[in-house]
Amino acid sequence: MAASDPGNQGRSEEDAKDVRLMRLVGRGDTSAFEQLIARHQALVAGTVARMLGSNSDVEDIAQQVFIRLWKSARRYVPRAKFTTWLLKITRNLVFNELRRTKRHAHVPLQSEPGAEDPPVKDEMNLAPDASLLELELQRTIEEAILQLPETQRLALVLRRYEQLSYEQIAEVLGLSVPAVKSVLFRARTELRSRLSKYLT
C-alpha cells in the first residue's frame, strides 16, 4: 500500500514537502519547523476548536501539538501521510484535554456573560429573522457536535470540515474503514435527531 511506504514514492507533492521539512526538523532546523507550523496551523487549530469548543484553550492545545511534533521529529518515520500523523498527535492531546475537563465537571457549552458575542455586521446582509435563524442553527450544530462522544466527534470533524478520506480517518483514529463508516453513521444519526426541529 503506497500510504505506508516509508519513502516519498507515491506521495503527493505537498506531502513529500512535509516529509522533507520534517527530516530537517529532526536535525534541529528551526526554519523548517516554522514552515511546518505555517503550513498546518489552520488544520490543527481548526480541529482543536471544533473538538473542544471556542471557550477552551485552543491556542494552548494547538501549541502543544507542535511542541510534540518538535520533540518527536528525530524519531519520525513517514509511514502514513504527514497530516495523518499530525492529526494523531492532535487526537491524543484533544482526548486528554476532554478527559481532564470531564474530571473537573466543566461545561463548555454555556456561554458566559461577556463571552464572545456573535458578529452583528452579518445581520445587515440578511433579513434580521433569517440572520438570527442562521446564527441559531450554526450554534445548535456546533453544540450538537460538541455533545457527541469524542470518537464520533473527531470522525465527523475530520470528514465534514477537513474532507479527509475514510482511510485517513481510520489511520487517525486507529480503526478499520468499516468501523469509521459505522462511527460516522452513528454520529450523523445523533446529529439529525438533535437538529430535527431545523430539518422539518
The predicted-structure confidence for 155-171, as pLDDT tens digits, reads as follows 999 999 899 999 999 99
Please state, in angstroms and rounded to a whole number, the distance separating the CA atoms of residues 98 and 79: 28
Whether the pLDDT of residue 3 is over 60: the answer is no
Share of the chain above pLDDT 90, in %: 59
In order of 77, 165, 200, the CA distances from 4 in angstroms are 10, 15, 45
Contact 98, 56 (CB under 8 A): no
Q: Which residue has the higher pLDDT, 189 or 4?
A: 189
Longest pairwise C-alpha distance within the chain: 57
Q: Give the tens place of pLDDT for each residue, 19-65.
A: 999 999 999 999 999 999 999 999 999 999 999 886 668 899 999 99
Sorted by where each starts, the structural domains of the chain and their CATH numbers stand as 1-106 (1.10.1740.10), 120-200 (1.10.10.10)
Whether the pLDDT of residue 147 is over 60: the answer is yes
Q: What is the pLDDT of residue 116?
A: 42
Average pLDDT, the chain: 83
Please state, in angstroms and rounded to a whole number, the distance separating the CA atoms of residues 110 and 76: 40
User: What band does 8 get if pLDDT is binned at 50, 70 and 90?
Assistant: low
Q: Give the tens place of pLDDT for each residue, 79-122.
A: 889 999 999 999 999 999 988 877 654 444 433 444 444 444 44
**10-19, 29-38, 114-123, 177-186: least confident range:** 114-123
Residue 32 is placed in which grid cell? Answer: 523548517
Q: Can you give the chain as a three-state secondary structure string?
A: CHHHCCCCCCCCHHHHHHHHHHHHHHCCCHHHHHHHHHHHHHHHHHHHHHHHCCCCCHHHHHHHHHHHHHHHHHHCCCCCCHHHHHHHHHHHHHHHHHHHHHHCCCCCCCCCCCCCCCCCHHHHCCCHHHHHHHHHHHHHHHHHHHCCCHHHHHHHHHHHCCCCCHHHHHHHHCCCHHHHHHHHHHHHHHHHHHCHHHHC
Q: What is the pLDDT of residue 163?
A: 93
Q: What is the pLDDT of residue 103?
A: 67
- Predicted TM-score (pTM) of the model is 0.76
Q: What is the pLDDT of residue 117?
A: 41
Sign of CA dihedral 11, 75, 25, 50: positive
Q: What is the pLDDT of residue 179?
A: 97
Within 53-120, where are the H helices? 58-72, 82-103
Dihedral angle of Cα 44, 50, 53, 57, to the nearest 10 degrees: 0
